[in-house]
């Protein structure tokens, strides 16, 4: 039987039905227009598959089976070749008589359809039935999808959060542990001990031999006054001694004069403290002028580390906190010190504040100008509500976590965060330690939530119209 014969048979069938209609309702002939429309529909439907039936008035009301309106009009069939995106898409069968609300994108994108369709990869849109969602904020996901996407949840816990603030630092000598050797009179250096830059000296150790007429005259006057006192006469030795002190003569030299009661053309000048010679400006036989810095000695048994802490971390540090220093020259060695001062001025180029850390250096491993890495532990030992960092979805405007309510139900909830450390974030508001949050694949659930929000907006917009 060829196609022409099939078409002719269809025309005759339509004509026969029209006649039957006339005979069943005497006095009424079907209009030519109705007959022609029915003939065209039946002829065009040959070999085509009906996807679904749509309301005859074009409303957003669809049915997977033939259906009629309350006033008795039949729904219009929609065929698979009428729209490219609907090729091969079939309406889902209702589950237990529940109404299909809409069809959502199978990839979780915020895209919905009021009719069954396929996405650009040929995947069917997923039907969403009435009653699938519990409330306006909860998202429900099937167990199969949860397993495929690898969603994992962890309970919210209370824990102490310690944040480690890291900053670069440089070693400096303690400003309180440095001394200079300066003469308060003109003198000649008749001899130098075998001391060079970098030598370690002890307090009282000889540095040089000094000759000065001013110093010799003051010492001779002091010896004379001591002799007058010893013979029972009126002594003015207090004035002579004061002159020696005003010239900066060390107390040890004055005591030697008192003990020996003899003067000397030269005086052995001692080191004022223990430490290392970091500056050496003397040559044997030279004339030293008043105020010239001849030696600079630094005690390095206690040193400073000056660290540059970022501006955003300043609120988390304070004097008295412990800090760990790792010199870059000795990666395996660490030193523990204490923050003694946070400098009051911020570096406007680097936006950092200088922090002074004092620590012991008994083996003098740490040397001035050496670079070091500084770690400052900040935080409280008091337990707080905390979640893993992976549970936080930060949009830049707000921070959200996905609360697992069980049985595939999830609720996005906005939170306020606090300190961070050890992979956890403090939650100050939004969840409690009785909740459970999603820590893996939470972005997929967030996409579901966005889809639901888009649908609610679509519904609201439709009602407004």
Residue 324: phi and psi, rounded to 5, are -105, 130
Architecture per CATH, 163-174+300-379: Beta Barrel (2.40)
> Which CATH code fits 139-161+383-464?
2.40.420.20
Helices 3-24 and 32-44 pack at an angle, to 10 degrees, of 140
pLDDT tens profile 359-370: 999 889 999 999
| β-sheet with 178-182: strand ranges across | 178-182, 293-298, 275-280, 200-201
Q: What is the largest CA-CA distance in the chain?
A: 167
Per DSSP, the three-state class of 79 is: strand
Question: Phi-psi bin for 217: left (phi > 0), alpha (psi -120 to 50), beta?
Answer: alpha
From CA 13, how far away is CA 20, in angstroms rounded? 11
Per DSSP, the three-state class of 77 is: strand
pLDDT at 126: 81
Tokens of 156: 């919210």
Cα within 13 Å of Cα(233), Cβ side: 9
pLDDT tens profile 1-40: 444 444 444 434 444 444 444 444 444 444 433 433 444 4
Tokens of 115: 């009719």
From CA 320, how far away is CA 430, in angstroms rounded? 34
From CA 117, how far away is CA 51, in angstroms rounded? 10
pLDDT at 109: 64
More confident residue, 114 or 336: 336
Best CA proximity match to 240, nearest among 256, 259, 224: 224
pLDDT at 23: 40
Helices 251-260 and 213-230 pack at an angle, to 10 degrees, of 50
pLDDT at 93: 58
From CA 425, how far away is CA 411, in angstroms rounded? 19
To 5 degrees, how large is the angle CA 250–CA 256–CA 261? Answer: 130
pLDDT at 334: 94
Per DSSP, the three-state class of 201 is: strand
More confident residue, 67 or 455: 67
pLDDT tens profile 377-434: 887 778 899 999 888 888 888 888 888 888 777 888 889 998 888 889 999 998 988 8
Domain residue ranges of the chain, discontinuous segments joined by +: 1-47, 48-132, 139-161+383-464, 163-174+300-379, 185-291
In the chain, the N- to C-terminal Cα span, in Å, equals 53
pLDDT tens profile 234-260: 555 568 888 888 998 988 888 888 888
pLDDT tens profile 78-134: 776 665 455 555 565 555 567 787 787 776 666 778 788 887 777 888 887 766 554
pLDDT at 320: 93
Tokens of 305: 């580390």
- Average per-residue pLDDT for the chain: 79
pLDDT at 237: 58
Residues contacting residue 274 through CB under 8 Å, at least 6 positions apart? 201, 202, 203, 299, 301
pLDDT at 55: 83
Query: H/E/C letters for each residue in 268-319?
Result: EEECCCCEEEEEECCCCCCEECCCCEEEEEECCCEEEEEEEEEHHHHHHCCC
DSSP string, 226-239: HHHHHTTS---HHH
pLDDT tens profile 259-287: 888 777 889 999 999 999 999 999 999 99
pLDDT tens profile 154-197: 899 998 888 889 999 999 999 999 999 999 999 999 999 999 99
456 touches 135 (CB < 8 A): no
Per DSSP, the three-state class of 9 is: helix
Question: Phi-psi bin for 285: left (phi > 0), alpha (psi -120 to 50), beta?
Answer: left
pLDDT at 209: 94
From CA 15, how far away is CA 36, in angstroms rounded? 10
393 touches 400 (CB < 8 A): yes
pLDDT at 132: 58
More confident residue, 137 or 103: 103
Encode 246-255: b = buried (16+ Cβ within 10 Å), e = exposed: eeebbeebee
Measure Cα distances from 279 to 190, 228, 309 in Å. 20, 43, 31
pLDDT at 258: 85
pTM value is 0.56
């Amino acid at each position: 039987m060829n196609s022409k014969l099939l078409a002719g048979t269809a025309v005759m069938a339509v004509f026969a039905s029209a006649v039957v209609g006339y005979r069943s309702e005497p006095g009424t002939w079907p209009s030519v227009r109705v007959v022609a429309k029915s003939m065209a529909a039946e002829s065009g439907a040959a070999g085509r598959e009906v996807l679904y039936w749509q309301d005859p008035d074009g409303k957003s009301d669809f049915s997977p089976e033939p259906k009629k309106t309350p006033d008795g009009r039949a729904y219009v069939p929609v065929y698979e070749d009428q729209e490219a995106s609907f090729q091969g898409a079939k309406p889902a069968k209702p589950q237990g008589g529940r109404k299909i609300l809409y069809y959502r994108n199978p990839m979780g994108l915020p895209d919905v359809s009021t009719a069954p369709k396929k996405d650009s990869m040929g995947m069917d849109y997923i039907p969403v039935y009435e009653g699938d969602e519990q409330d306006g904020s909860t998202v429900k996901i099937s167990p199969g999808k949860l397993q495929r996407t690898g969603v994992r949840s962890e309970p919210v816990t209370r824990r102490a959060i310690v944040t480690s603030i890291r900053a670069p630092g440089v070693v400096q000598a303690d400003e309180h542990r440095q001394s200079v050797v300066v003469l308060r009179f003109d003198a000649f250096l008749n001899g130098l001990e075998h001391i060079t830059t970098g030598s370690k000296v002890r307090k009282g150790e000889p540095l040089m031999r000094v000759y000065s007429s001013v110093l010799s005259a003051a010492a001779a006057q002091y010896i004379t006054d001591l002799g007058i006192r010893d013979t029972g006469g009126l002594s003015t030795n207090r004035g002579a001694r004061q002159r020696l002190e005003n010239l900066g003569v060390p107390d040890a030299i004055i005591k030697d004069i008192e003990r020996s009661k003899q003067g000397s053309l030269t005086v052995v000048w001692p080191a004022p403290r223990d430490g290392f010679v970091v500056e050496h400006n003397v040559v044997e036989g030279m004339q030293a002028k008043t105020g010239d810095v001849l030696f600079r000695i630094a005690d390095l048994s206690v040193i400073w580390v000056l660290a540059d802490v970022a501006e955003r971390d300043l609120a988390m540090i304070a004097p008295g906190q412990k800090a760990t220093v790792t010199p870059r020259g000795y990666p395996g060695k660490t030193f523990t010190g204490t923050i003694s001062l946070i400098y009051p001025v911020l570096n406007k180029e680097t936006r950092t504040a200088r922090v002074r850390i004092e620590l012991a250096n008994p083996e003098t491993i740490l040397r001035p100008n050496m670079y070091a890495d500084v770690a400052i532990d900040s935080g409280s030992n008091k337990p707080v509500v905390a979640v893993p960092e992976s549970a936080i979805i930060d949009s830049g405007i707000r921070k959200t976590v996905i609360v697992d309510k069980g049985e595939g139900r999830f609720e996005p909830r906005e939170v306020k965060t606090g300190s961070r450390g050890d992979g956890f974030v403090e939650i100050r508001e939004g969840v409690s330690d009785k909740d459970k949050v999603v820590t893996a694949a939470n972005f997929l659930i967030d996409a579901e939530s966005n889809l639901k929000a888009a649908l609610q907006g679509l519904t609201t917009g439709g009602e407004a119209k």
